[in-house]
């Protein structure tokens, strides 16, 4: 098998899903002839034509809202938001319509749909091309949220998301679009179950919990720790709602020390939820406080694009603190 980048994997998986099920349609800005500004929908317009790969007007509300209506009519829409930062003009459609439809109709209507969006920084895009808005979705009951960190996870989670019966916010770490390559199987189902995380490394000295783009720096930190003889257990949450509470609690209880990593702003983040849950459920097993290594409570900067990210040094510093505690 040849190596395949993250973004190629998205395009290939969409191709397979559209072949498998003709109810799957794509919509978004530039998803058609252009194949998406990141080429995440490359070749699909040629393969399926304008009825199934729909270039929309420049309106995120139209994109997300229309996807709800298509889903209600029996299609399986996969919507693209060009950058996660641009979901906000369509945020109401996610929060007020998609997320609550099943509930408010007592189950009469559902919105099986996927809203894909490249997220995260490190691409010199400034604060409107770098954000990680996952906490907003996690705090919106009715949405599933997933942020896979590798090409093959992206494939498995996308299959699950497209075939599921819920609205799924599908975040893609844009700085890994080309940087992350793997051998990815094709034409076989590899659905990754909703809400199940994965251990990327095993170790007994400290648990590192992360997801999405920050997995890369987290694994780099774990590697550096290994050099120093410190064995980190590394959990990739993959799904953020529901998230794999059982796995995290089990490992943290066993190890007693945990550092949480993600690049979203610090206050009110996904990490806050994980840390709060840890404190609530396994307090007595903690040998040190659960530390969060995160983005800052600032808009994402431009000139200091890299400094904003929780890089290996900041992770190592936190690990040192929990080890020394």
Ligand X SMILES: Cc1ncc(C[n+]2csc(CCOP(=O)(O)OP(=O)(O)O)c2C)c(N)n1
Task: Please report, as ranges, the residues that interact with ligand X according to CB under 6 A.
Answer: 29, 58, 82, 86, 89
Q: Contact between 135 and a second copy (CB under 8 A)? A: yes
Residue least distant from ligand X (Cβ): 86
Nearest approach in angstroms of CB 258 to a second copy is 10
Beta strands in 45-112 (DSSP E): 53-55, 76-80
Nearer to a second copy, 17 or 263 (CB): 263
* Largest Cα span, the chain: 60
Footprint (CB under 8 A) of a second copy, residues 283-312? 283, 286, 288-292, 296-299
Query: Encoding tokens for residue 285?
Result: 């097993």
User: x-or-dash pattern for a second copy, window 221-250, by CB under 8 A?
Assistant: --------------------x---------
In DSSP notation, 108-167 reads S----EEEEEEE-S-SS-GGGSS---HHHHHTSTT-EEE---SHHHHHHHHHHHHHSSSE
Nearest approach in angstroms of CB 218 to a second copy is 18
Nearer to ligand X, 63 or 168 (CB): 63
Which residue(s) pair with 210 in the sheet? 236
Contact of residue 69 among a second copy, ligand X, other proteins, none (CB under 5-8 Å per partner type): other proteins
269 vs 292: CA distance, rounded Å: 10
Query: Encoding tokens for residue 46?
Result: 């040629």
148 vs 172: CA distance, rounded Å: 7
Which among 96-104, 171-179, 203-211, 225-233 is the span making contact with other proteins, rule CB under 8 A? 96-104
Q: Is the previous residue joined to 242 through a cis bond, with omega within 30 degrees of 0?
A: yes
Q: Which of 127, 181, 186, 314 binds a second copy (CB under 8 A)?
A: 127
For residue 129, indicate whether it is catalytic.
Answer: yes
Q: Name the catalytic one among 73, 129, 136, 266.
A: 129
163 vs 154: CA distance, rounded Å: 14
Nearest approach in angstroms of CB 299 to a second copy is 5
CA distances from 269 to 139, 160, 263, 286 (A): 10, 25, 9, 21
Contact of residue 220 among a second copy, other proteins, ligand X, none (CB under 5-8 Å per partner type): none
Query: Which residues belong to the active site?
Result: 129
- The site for a second copy (CB under 8 A) is made up of 85, 88-89, 91-92, 95-96, 99-100, 103-104, 126-128, 135-136, 138-142, 241, 264-265, 267-273, 275-281, 283, 286, 288-292, 296-299
């Amino acid at each position: 098998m040849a190596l395949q980048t993250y973004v190629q994997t998205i395009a290939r998986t969409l191709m397979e899903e559209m072949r498998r099920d003709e109810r799957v349609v794509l919509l978004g800005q530039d998803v058609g002839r252009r194949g998406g500004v990141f080429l995440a929908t490359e070749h699909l317009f040629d393969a399926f034509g304008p009825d199934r790969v729909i270039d929309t007007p420049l309106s995120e509300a139209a994109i997300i809202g229309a996807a709800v209506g298509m889903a209600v009519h029996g299609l399986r829409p996969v919507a693209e938001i060009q950058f996660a930062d641009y979901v906000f003009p369509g945020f109401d459609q996610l929060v007020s319509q998609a997320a609550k439809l099943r509930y408010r109709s007592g189950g009469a209507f559902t919105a099986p749909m996927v809203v894909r969006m490249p997220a995260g920084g490190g691409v010199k895009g400034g604060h409107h091309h770098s954000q990680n808005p996952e906490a907003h979705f996690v705090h919106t009951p009715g949405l599933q949220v997933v942020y896979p960190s590798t090409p093959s996870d992206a494939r498995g989670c996308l299959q699950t998301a497209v075939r599921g019966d819920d609205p799924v916010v599908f975040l893609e770490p844009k700085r890994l679009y080309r940087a992350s390559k793997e051998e990815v199987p094709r034409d076989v189902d590899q659905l990754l179950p909703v809400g199940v995380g994965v251990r990327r490394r095993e170790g007994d000295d400290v648990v590192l919990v992360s997801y999405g783009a920050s997995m890369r720096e987290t694994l780099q930190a774990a590697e550096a720790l290994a050099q120093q003889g410190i064995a980190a257990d590394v959990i990739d949450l993959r799904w953020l709602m529901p998230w794999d509470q059982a796995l995290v609690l089990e490992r943290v209880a066993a190890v007693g020390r945990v550092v949480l990593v993600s690049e979203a702003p610090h206050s009110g983040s996904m990490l806050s939820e994980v840390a709060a849950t840890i404190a609530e459920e396994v307090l007595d097993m903690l040998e040190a406080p659960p530390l969060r290594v995160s983005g800052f409570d600032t808009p994402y900067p431009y000139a200091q694009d890299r400094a904003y990210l929780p890089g290996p040094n900041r992770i190592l510093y936190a690990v040192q603190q929990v080890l020394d505690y």
